[in-house]
Chains A and B, each alone.
Chain A
Amino acid sequence: MCATCGCAGDGHQLKAFLPGARPRSFAGLKLSNSDHSPANSELRTANSELRTANSELRTANSELRTANSKLVVDIERDILDKNNRLAERNRGYFEAKNIVALNMVSSPGSGKTSILERTLADKGREMAFFIVEGDQQTSRDAERIAAGGAPVVQVNTGKGCHLEAEMVHQAIRQLQPTENSVVVIENVGNLVCPSMFDLGESKRVVVISITEGEDKPLKYPDMFHTSQLCIINKIDLLPYLKFDVEALKTFALQVNPGLEFIELSATSGEGMNQWYAWIKKQQTASHFSK
């Protein structure tokens, strides 16, 4: 939806970079925006005057009517019901194809794309990866991933600060991931909003870099509470910074006692093998967890 005025136009756009095909935009997926032209606003003013008149009539009229015209309807439904149901559909699709789907979340710049680039360079021949890149603007991250040869779809959320299950559904339809593959969804860099939106992922991975504060888990608990793995990135910078890795872990465990940790550096490659082993473990785990 349009976050500027609250109108219901859905502004997100997809762009696919599939090997052997030229990048394509899917214009059909961009739903039209509402009309904000001055003529329209005049119409709206006129319309609202009519409405006022009309509502006066209605008020007069309603006085004539009995009180039983009021109706309380029980809804008792989760506000995010629609997203949750779509997420379950994605999850079913992933499970049926034995796909490990990872939702990577973090604040902007903690190194999600760098970790993916390195992963594709190191393991791209051994495992089949399909990538969904979520950013508000540009396809820069998708271009970085495509340069490494992996199929990738960029979702631009526009003003939206998180991916939703429907966007992932559309991206997956473009990507056509193969059986037993690994789908990595890089969410929009934002430590608050994405935590509420289930995408249908098998596991959620929160990335924090040591250039951020140790107390991030306490300040942004939701993201750490809903993740299963925490990657601590940029450990090559440890000698230069005052960063207490143990304090970070303690705080994160207070928010989520089941959280796992991997310390690594996308730049130096240190610790990356633990990450690859973790992904492999998810692949074998999914064989038996049904």
Chain B
Amino acid sequence: MHELSIIQSIIDTVETEVTRKGGSYRVEAVVLQIGTLAGVETGSLEFLWPAAVQNTLLDGAECQIEIVPGTAVCSDCGTGFSMINYFDPCPNCRSHLINVQTGEELKIKTIELCAQPADVPATATN
């Protein structure tokens, strides 16, 4: 179950980033790009997310995943095609010598922060 390590790495990166910005921010969302060939079960990742981010700066943040489909270019005939598995041959010449172009992404794209006041405001009392 390496999805937990994946989430842990995301927490580390995001916490470092938010701390570096200084001030007080709430992380509202984390946008990930995950390729279909990246070896990550996005289902388990989403399932584990809420519990894994508890008591971190990402507590309550939404995990948005952009799936990147696999594409390749055949090294033998130059045909570009979409692929699902590493063993998918070139549809034109059946070669397995292919260059994967997309689908191996495993990236944190953006994070959405919400500035929050350092103290609870006094405006509520009047």
**B-contacting residues of A (Cβ < 8 Å)?**
1, 3, 5-8, 54, 57-58, 60-62, 64, 69-83, 160-162, 164, 192-193, 195-197, 217-218, 221-222, 225, 251, 253-257
Contact = CB atoms under 8 A, between A and B. Distances in A.
A162 B11 CA distance: 19
A55 to B, nearest CB: 8
Contacts of B25: 71
Contact of A74 (B1, B6, B109): B109
Given A6-B7, A6-B51, A83-B9, A69 B1 contact: no
Interface in B82-117: 85-87, 89, 96-97, 106-117
Interface centre among B4, B11, B97 (most CB of A within 10 A): B4
Contacts of A162: 2, 5
B121 A61 contact: yes
Given A70-B113, A75-B110, A77-B108, A64 B96 contact: no
Contact of B8 (A8, A57, A192, A255): A8
A257 to B, nearest CB: 5
B86 A160 contact: no
Contacts of A218: 85, 87
B107 A77 contact: yes
B54 interface: yes
Interface centre among A58, A73, A164, A253 (most CB of B within 10 A): A73
